[in-house]
Amino acid sequence: MTALAPPVVKGSTTKEGGGAVKGASVLWMSLPALFMFAVFGIIPLLGVVLLSFTSWDGLGAIRPTGLSAGPRS
């Protein structure tokens, strides 16, 4: 069985010539994962932190309470 290797781009190999990808290319490959983490992890977390400083029953108006406790039922 014969396998064809992908072409080697000048400047993309290490000094040893092992064909390893340099750090800049790895960064580009990780950007989609970082984007998804931000959209589904960081942004909802910030929303929850902001809502923790409010008093809201889920239907009415959102009232900021700051660090004080909200109305008790």
Beta strands in 1-73 (DSSP E): 54-55, 63-64
3-state DSSP assignment of residue 64: strand
Q: Which two tokens stand for residue 34?
A: 């970082």
If we measure between CA atoms, which residue out of 49, 69, 70, 45 comes closest to residue 60? Answer: 70
CB atoms within 10 A of CB 20: 13
pTM, full prediction:
0.53
User: Residue 60: left (phi > 0), alpha (psi -120 to 50), or beta?
Assistant: beta
Q: Does residue 10 carry a pLDDT above 90?
A: no
Convert the pLDDT of each residue in 36-72 to its tens digit: 999 999 999 999 999 999 998 889 998 998 887 656 6
